Amino acid sequence: MYTLVEETHADGVKRLEKPVRKAAAAAVFKNPFADKYVEDLSLLFDWSAELGEILTKKAVTALGIKAEEVQSYGKAAIVGERGELEHCAAILHPKLGKPLRDNVGGGKAIIPSAKKLGFPGAAIDVPLHFKNAAFVRTHFDAMEVRFPDAPRADELVLIVAITDSGRPLARIGGLTISEVKGEDGLR
């Protein structure tokens, strides 16, 4: 497992009053379906439910904040060359959302995701947005994550990322956090 914290103290020529902090937690594991095609990928669904809780708690702990203080979230997966992109989808989508939301104080918005085929050292940009309303532009962001030794050809990497704030110096307008109704996950 890996945990990564990124702090931004300045953007361009302007220093921030408070750093923007992001954390990612990741698990690297053997892909049980490497080198074979199977219809039933439910084993990966079940693993993602367990890993979703573990990784989210690790990310929150890494930022040193309460779960309710998490503002943005996102998830990603990388599959090694002997696996399929669908293995990433299986580990990301059916069961990861509930444990992630349960451990960040809720979340109405869809959890943005990315998936790709990769090799050791491959980078992925984990998309991020505000957890209660997808249209809050100040939180449209990403966190680049890479691991020097993963994924190997028969491995999968699952990543959960969170933030304690939006982008540094955000000023493109749109829906603000104070305007969020939090009813439909969009506004």
Q: How far apart are CA 99 and CA 77, in angstroms?
A: 16
Strand 123-130 relative to strand 72-79, pairing = antiparallel
**Token reading at 27:** 């698990």
**Token reading at 53:** 């809780």
What's 98's domain CATH number? 3.30.1330.110
**Contact at 8 Å (CB) between 111 and 128?**
no
**63 sits in which H/E element:** helix 42-63
Residue 185 belongs to some domain of the structure = no
Give percent of the chain above pLDDT 90. Answer: 97
Q: How many domains does the chain have?
A: 1
Q: Which pLDDT score is estimated for 94?
A: 92
Residue 60 belongs to some domain of the structure = yes
pLDDT at 183 > cutoff 90: no
What is the extent of the structural domain holding 53? 2-9+18-179
Residue 65 belongs to some domain of the structure = yes
- pTM of the shown model: 0.95
Residue 94 belongs to some domain of the structure = yes
Once rounded to an integer, what is the mean pLDDT over residues 139-144?
A: 98
pLDDT at 182 > cutoff 90: no
**Contact at 8 Å (CB) between 76 and 111?**
no
Residues in Cβ contact with 91 at an 8 Å cutoff, skipping those fewer than 6 apart: 44, 45, 47, 48, 51, 77, 156, 158
Residue 184 belongs to some domain of the structure = no
Q: How confident is the model at residue 185 (pLDDT cuts 50, 70, 90)?
A: confident
Residue 187 belongs to some domain of the structure = no
Sign of the Cα pseudo-torsion (6, 164, 111, 61, in order): positive
Q: How far apart are CA 18 and CA 161, in angstroms?
A: 20
Once rounded to an integer, what is the mean pLDDT over residues 97-124?
A: 97
Residue 84 belongs to some domain of the structure = yes
